[in-house]
């Protein structure tokens, strides 16, 4: 047995490179003929030869560059207008690049005169260059770039959608980091609250004790000051580094920017659903997503992946908006925790001052009142800017 036809001779160089024995190549050719499938598919799937090796062999055989399928390839729309996918599948060619007045054609057999005649018939330009490509890659080019209108190409669209999903995932990760810092701030607040509580307890016992002041009360007060300082230093460290920027409006604006892909990848003119406009930007953004939650239409199976990618992006956008809400509410929850603690200690200090009157320990009461007022002010700064978001939160629809 020997390799006789031109299609098989193209891969004869594989035996010279030591990639495949001549016997194995003949067996692969026989398998290809018996099953009615391309030889390249047999070599890749059953003999484990990488695609780039086959492309190098074809490039060597035809003395021309090779091109591999890439859905991100920016094929000009004018090259695709008027092309018939079925005809291209039979002739095995596809236009892939336009460089000035030169159009580069990917073809399984760049020397085929029928292919060159077809190219001159459908592609009008001054110069042509023919590069070799695997038949499977040509089918992917035809499927992905000709089953959509020129300008709305499926291959590049899926890549763009994947880019936006990554962008939203990065932003959700950043929001999760902000929420973690807020949780750390509330943990430090717990230490601060515990310390102030010990100070208040020791202050009360010192004033109400009828005998000589016991040393352990001073130890309790000193421990309270240490815990309060530990919690305060931890909170201030986080506040300086992460809690101050960004503000709640920045969180909303960046979240809005990460879902702008809807304007370029979703072409829905009228959904028939009217939702009253809400006051806050984030609430309007959440309601806007409900129109795009389910966008699958009857279409060729080759386009279904793109529709599914669009829907995954919409669901990712809903998660991004929800993550922004969680971050904003984490800020509000942190602010409320400070307000609640501040009110408690300001009231406790005022009560102790009123009940026991003025003495040397009144300075501790003043300290408790001052700490409470400062915590209320800080909590107010965190809580009030996001207060208006609470009444505007949308209910994200669950797709069926």
Give strand ranges (E) for the chain: 93-99, 102-107, 127-132
101 in any annotated domain: yes
In terms of domains, do 102 and 237 share one? Answer: no
Q: Do both 180 and 136 map to the same domain?
A: no
Q: Which helix (H) or strand (E) holds 29?
A: helix 22-35
Domain of 226? 156-392
Q: Are 113 and 169 found together in one domain?
A: no
Distance CA 278, CA 366 (A): 45
Domain finish residue from 39, 62, 85: 62
User: Which tokens in the block code for residue 303?
Assistant: 């386009």
Q: Are residues 279 and 312 in the same domain?
A: yes
Query: Do 40 and 104 lie in a common domain?
Result: no
**CATH assignment of the domain containing 97:** 3.30.300
82/57 same-domain check: no
Domain membership flag for residue 189: yes
Each residue's pLDDT, cut to its tens digit, for the chain (400 residues) gives 444 455 567 888 888 888 888 888 889 888 988 888 889 888 988 888 988 899 999 999 999 999 988 776 778 888 888 888 888 988 999 999 888 889 999 999 999 999 999 999 888 888 999 999 999 889 888 877 776 554 455 556 677 777 778 888 888 888 888 888 888 888 888 888 888 888 878 877 777 765 455 677 778 878 888 887 887 787 777 777 655 545 666 677 777 777 766 666 655 545 455 455 555 656 665 555 655 555 444 344 445 666 777 778 777 877 878 888 888 788 888 888 888 888 887 887 788 777 777 777 778 778 878 888 887 888 787 777 666 655 444 444 444 4
- 400 within a domain of the structure (yes/no): no
- Cβ(121)–Cβ(139) under 8 Å? no
Q: Do 251 and 355 fall within a single domain?
A: yes
Please tell me the pTM assigned to this model. Answer: 0.51
Apex 397 CA angle, 393 and 400, nearest 5 = 170
Query: What's the domain count of the chain?
Result: 3
Residues 243 and 269 both lie in one domain = yes
For residues 248 and 329, state if they share a domain: yes
C-alpha distances (whole Å) from 338 to each of 224, 228, 235, 380, 385 are 18, 14, 11, 8, 15
238 assigned to some structural domain: yes
Classify residue 69: in a domain, yes or no.
no
Helix (H) or strand (E) holding 217: helix 215-238
Instruction: Please tell me whether residues 251 and 333 are part of one structural domain.
Output: yes
CB distance 156 to 196 below 8 Å: no
């Amino acid at each position: 047995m020997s390799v006789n036809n031109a299609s098989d001779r193209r891969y004869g160089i594989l035996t010279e490179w030591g990639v495949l024995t001549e016997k194995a190549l003949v067996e692969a050719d026989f398998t290809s003929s018996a099953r009615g499938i391309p030889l390249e598919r047999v070599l890749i799937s059953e003999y484990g030869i990488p695609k780039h090796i086959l492309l190098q062999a074809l490039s060597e055989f035809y003395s021309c560059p090779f091109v591999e399928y890439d859905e991100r390839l920016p094929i000009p729309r004018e090259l695709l207008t008027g092309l018939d996918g079925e005809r291209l599948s039979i002739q095995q060619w596809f236009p892939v690049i336009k460089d000035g007045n030169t159009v580069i054609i990917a073809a399984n057999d760049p020397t085929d005169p029928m292919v060159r005649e077809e190219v001159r018939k459908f592609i009008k330009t001054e110069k042509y260059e023919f590069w070799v490509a695997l038949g499977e890659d040509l089918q992917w080019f035809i499927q992905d770039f000709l089953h959509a209108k020129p300008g709305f190409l499926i291959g590049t669209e899926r890549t763009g959608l994947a880019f936006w999903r990554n962008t939203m995932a990065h932003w959700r990760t950043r929001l999760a980091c902000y929420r973690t810092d807020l949780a750390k701030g509330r943990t430090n607040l717990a230490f601060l609250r515990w310390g102030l509580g010990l100070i208040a307890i020791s202050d009360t016992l010192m004033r109400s004790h009828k005998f000589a002041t016991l040393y352990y009360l001073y130890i309790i007060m000193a421990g309270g000051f240490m815990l309060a300082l530990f919690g305060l230093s931890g909170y201030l460290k986080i506040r300086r580094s992460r809690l101050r920027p960004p503000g709640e409006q920045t969180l909303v604006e960046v979240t809005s920017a990460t879902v702008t892909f809807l304007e370029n990848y979703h072409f829905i003119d009228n959904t028939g659903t009217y939702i009253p406009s809400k006051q806050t930007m984030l609430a309007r953004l959440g309601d806007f997503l409900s129109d795009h939650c389910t966008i699958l239409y009857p279409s060729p199976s080759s386009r279904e992946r793109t529709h599914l990618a669009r829907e995954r992006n919409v669901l990712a956008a809903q998660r991004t908006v929800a993550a922004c809400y969680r971050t904003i509410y984490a800020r509000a929850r942190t602010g409320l925790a400070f307000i609640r603690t501040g009110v408690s200690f300001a009231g406790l200090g005022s009560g102790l001052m009123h009940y026991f009157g003025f003495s040397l320990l009144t300075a501790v009461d003043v300290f408790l009142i001052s700490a409470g007022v400062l915590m209320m002010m800080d909590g107010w700064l965190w809580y009030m800017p996001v207060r208006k978001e609470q009444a505007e939160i949308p209910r994200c629809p669950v797709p069926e």
